[in-house]
Structure 1
Amino acid sequence: MDTTRYDVVIVGGSAAGLSAATTLGRALRSVLVIDSGTPRNAPAAGVHGYLSRDGLNPRELLAIGRSEVLSYGGTVIDAEAVSARRTPDGFEVALGDTRRFSGRRLLVTTGLTDSLPPIDGLREQWGQGVVHCPYCHGWEIRGQRIGVLGSGPLSVHQALLFRQWSPDITLFLNDTVEPTEEEWDKLAARSVKVVDGAVAAVDAVGGILAGVTLRQGASFDVQALAVGPRMEARSSLLESLGLHPQVHPSGAGRFIETDPLGATAVPGVYAAGNVSNLMAQVITAAAEGVMAGAGINADLVEEETRWAVEGRFGPFSAGAEAAATRIVAGHRRHGLSDW
């Protein structure tokens, strides 16, 4: 067996990639998962909103997923994919250590990068005192003094969302947000405090978030800070194949467009998870991986069936199985009912 050639090569080994690999493994496909070991949610203490896995450490979730992939005959390697190119048989992926692997189909599940405002102390608290998603972190900070850092067009929406989890919400405009008259009315109606001026630093004591300080020196005591990062698809591998990220309609960042089964505009290339859905939570990314896996398998089945019809190489190119197919077809053509 050629251990460098697979039915499907998957680049990215988080929820979407591992779910796709498990689905394909169960479909008796040879699958390789290449993972660089940099999951987006690594700073978080636990995964939330994932039925039956709520609160599980992200690394533990991935370890379980890897075990499932291996149990169905898949292969997982720790490496970074640096480029991809089309070949007569599909695609070749090159790794940073010079190894190369080929697949009839390519699935990219490399996720996204959160681009945070350049504020002192913000990155250090990311995934801990600094959060972004109320459905991922709202329960853990419920009832606390929550600040919302103005960072883009969705900041007012974010402040109103977090108001569901606490009556004490402060929106820091941060010289980037100018609420409309309608938004001012909404903020006032929901008793959201609004602070003008740019934020200079996120303060922490003993590694725990303690507040924010404005450039003019004023400090505000908040226990948690929500921020809407700009989300950028990790798309370099896809760009090497001619696929380029598009601006998301919400203005939240850039993503790779796909159809509902993950197919991109380049035949044979698929994408799933946060690289194609900026808003996907872990459970959503996992579901999209399953859909992409099913879509890829159906695509391969269609190709193999075409090979069989043409009498070319493939699983049904010759022998008894091909003959049986012709007999069945013959019965159907003559209207016989013994099938």
Structure 2
Amino acid sequence: MSLQYDVIVIGGGAAGLSGALVLARARRRVLVIDGGRPRNAPADGVHNYLGREGTPPGELVSIGRQEIQRYGAEILEATVDSVRREGELFRVNGEHLARRLLVTTGVVDELPDIPGVAEGFGRHVLHCPYCHGWEVRDRPIGIIATSALAGHAAQLWPQWSDDVVLFTNGLEVAGVPEKVRVVEGLVAGVDESGVHLRDGTIVPREAVVVQTRPTVRAAFLAELGLEVADLEMQGEAVATYVPADPTGKTSVPGVWVAGNVSDPMAQVIQAAAAGGKAGAMINMDLIVQP
């Protein structure tokens, strides 16, 4: 027999768990399905989250899971491969039925194809000053240009260190402040010793900054009729996301989104807030259109 829920939440990060918490406290029957691959897994801690500053990502998820289960929400550790509509319901993975869906699957950070970047990502290879800047304050920092947006990074990072070097990596980068040293040449790789150039030069750096491309990856979105759009900055596509209104409601009736899947630049606390808002809107929608 198929189990029917009021809401199935696909994705169990901050956005999904926050939405589930609101819905469970509203006495809705909720199932959270989570594949266990959070975007922030490499990070030592969650930052700028008031009351939870520095909490390890896994610990925050564990706390959230305990909280939603206290109100009767269920958790299933699995990857969602298929979602299809059956009349007024949604069937997830061919087994579970729901009246509404909240999609909070997040994004995957696509990394530049530079040797050593993937291995060091989240430790000495960083992407966000608001997430990691304090932890590498006053240390030698290198920024590797992989797009014209490297100029934006060059403007930001000197706020945390006076020793910032921009590696142009064969690109022309505008807007670089005078206090940032510029090193020309192609980058061959990075490691904990610093940035290696193709001419054999090694520039010692304790932290290296790269630009990632947050990308929505969830094959079932197409089954739902949800389209993925490009987020552009300065005329360049820097991420993908699922469009929605300010409450998270999508163009597909009965489907809401929250967190990085709809706002790829949102930090954890913002994703949690968006999930909570979406949960409240879904509950009201179930009242108005039972």
For normalisation by structure 1, the TM-score amounts to 0.82
How far 1:4 moved relative to its partner?
1.4
Distance 1:8 1:129 in 2: 40
**1:215 aligned to 2:209?**
no
Listed as ranges, the gaps of 5+ residues in structure 2 are none
Contact 2:47 2:53 in 1 (8 A): yes
Aligned equivalent of 1:60 = 59
How far 1:179 moved relative to its partner?
2.2
Q: Secondary structure at the match of 1:59?
A: helix
Aligned equivalent of 1:178 = 172
The 5 A counterparts of 1:256-271 are 256-271=242-257
How far 1:193 moved relative to its partner?
0.8
Contact 1:40 1:111 in 2 (8 A): yes
Distance 1:194 1:243 in 2: 43
Aligned equivalent of 1:201 = 189
Distance 2:66 2:278 in 1: 20
The 5 A counterparts of 1:1-339 are 4-94=3-93, 100-175=95-170, 177-180=171-174, 183=175, 186-188=176-178, 191-203=179-191, 209-250=192-233, 251-304=237-290
Contact 1:9 1:107 in 2 (8 A): yes
Q: Secondary structure at the match of 2:38?
A: coil
Contact 2:142 2:165 in 1 (8 A): yes
Distance 2:148 2:87 in 1: 45
Distance 1:119 1:292 in 2: 38
Contact 1:235 1:275 in 2 (8 A): no
Distance 1:145 1:270 in 2: 43
Max Rg structure: 1
CA RMSD of aligned residues (A): 1.2
Which residue type is aligned with residue 29 of structure 1?
R
Q: Deviation per CA, 1:10-40: give whole Å up to 9, x if none.
A: 1100000000000000111110000000000
Q: Secondary structure at the match of 1:253?
A: strand
How far 1:258 moved relative to its partner?
0.7
**Larger helix share, 1 or 2:** 1
Q: Deviation per CA, 1:222-278: give whole Å up to 9, x if none.
A: 000111101101232212212121110223111111111111111111111001101
Distance 1:299 1:110 in 2: 22
Which residue type is aligned with residue 177 of structure 2?
L
Contact 1:235 1:256 in 2 (8 A): no
Which residue type is aligned with residue 130 of structure 1?
V
Distance 1:236 1:154 in 2: 29
Q: Deviation per CA, 1:130-154: give whole Å up to 9, x if none.
A: 1111111110000000001112232
Distance 2:120 2:60 in 1: 22
How far 1:128 moved relative to its partner?
0.5
How far 1:3 moved relative to its partner?
6.8
Q: 1:85 to 1:12 in 2, by over 3 A?
A: same
Distance 1:200 1:76 in 2: 44
Q: Deviation per CA, 1:109-137: give whole Å up to 9, x if none.
A: 00101111111111011000011111111
Contact 1:21 1:69 in 2 (8 A): yes
Give me the identity figure in percent. 48
Distance 2:211 2:96 in 1: 37
Distance 2:223 2:126 in 1: 33
Q: Deviation per CA, 1:90-126: give whole Å up to 9, x if none.
A: 21110xxxx6111100111001011111111110110
Distance 2:217 2:145 in 1: 24
Listed as ranges, the gaps of 5+ residues in structure 1 are 204-208, 305-339
Q: Secondary structure at the match of 1:51?
A: coil
How far 1:298 moved relative to its partner?
1.1
Q: Which aligned segments of 4 or more residues in structure 1 are displaced greater than 3 angstroms?
A: none
Q: Secondary structure at the match of 1:254?
A: strand
Which residue type is aligned with residue 294 of structure 1?
A
Distance 1:3 1:137 in 2: 45
